[in-house]
Amino acid sequence: MPIRIANGLPAMETLKNERIFVMEEDRASTQDIRPIKIIILNLMPNKVATETQLLRSLSNSPIQVDIDLMMTASYTPTHTNEEHLLKYYETFEDVKDRYYDGMIITGAPVEQMPFEEVKYWDELVKIMEWSKTHVYSTLHICWGAQAGLYYHYGVPKYDVPEKVFGIFEHSMTYSKPVKLFRGFDDVFYVPHSRHTEIHREDIAACKELRILSESEECGVYAVSDLHGRQIFITGHSEYDADTLDGEYKRDLAKGLPIKMPVNYYKNDDPEQGPVLRWRSSATLLYTNWLNYYVYQETPFDLSLIATDKKNRDRADLTGN
């Protein structure tokens, strides 16, 4: 089934060319079903690229998915056309009275700043607090994961001596089967691009959190609360094949100290291009989140999210 997006969104043509089923609002409005409602808080500078990546990752849902796009009002991005923002994006004030099955909070290029010094931190805090009563399950990505862990659980982030940059092997950590990783191989690959990290011991010290997946090379990857209402992903499974290539060449052109992304180029040769080895696991990650943590659990009447205790009172987040 398709994902439903605003009429004319630029990602439409890209996804259609990839044979991904997307549906504009006009056609979707004629279908008599209850779609999944997802809101994406896009904090990345290039909004269009991030939209396309996330829509591609969400495209294999078995039912219709309605997408709303949100940006911060306290900081206006400079890398995205203003007309695009005005046409397709809303702010918190526009959506605060709505309820959503799921929410995605993206990463942002502010990871080396203290959280409280980020221009839109106060607004983000307001949105994360709102999500507790207006969103059933929230998926936090990269800096969004660090911000969520810090706000909800007081987990700090730490600078790393050298940028975590490349494609790294990961495996499941939690002792019981976890719905988020159903269908995954024992070892799978994830792109990372970050200057900071969270520490395992800080997560382990919080009884409300579980570490689901880690990498021997780059640490904790996936963390969740006990009920799947808050999920934190430190990598970028949604990245395109050439995203890290663009970042690498950009930093080289600026004369910044950057090493070649690990395990990324064929034969470690940029001239031979990247090897895409994470698309299948990325698709599974988002499909599992939509199915097991959103579609299977959200009340039909979304306004009941604020009072519903069904998922909050569960003992754990396994497939049982």
**Residues tagged active-site:** 142, 236, 238
Residue 284: burial class (beta carbons within 10 Å; 0-12, 13-18, 19+): buried
For residue 97, the number of C-alpha atoms closer than 13 Å in the C-beta half-sphere is 2
- Residue among 34, 95, 99 nearest 302 (CA): 99
Sign, CA torsion 151/154/155/157: positive
CB of 43 closer than 8 Å to CB of 72: yes
- Token pair 């950057």 in the structure block, residue: 258
Q: Helices (DSSP H) in 192-309: which residue ranges?
A: 200-204, 243-253, 279-288
Alpha-carbon torsion (133, 101, 243, 47), positive or negative: negative
The whole-angstrom separation of Cα 74 and Cα 68 is 19
CA dist 303 and 298 (Å) reads 10
User: 310: alpha, beta or left, given left = phi > 0 and alpha = psi -120 to 50?
Assistant: alpha
- Cβ-count burial 230-269 (b if 16+ within 10 Å, e if not): bbbbbbbbbbbeebbbebbeeeeeeeeebeebbebbeeee
Cα separation, 197 vs 215, in Å, equals: 12
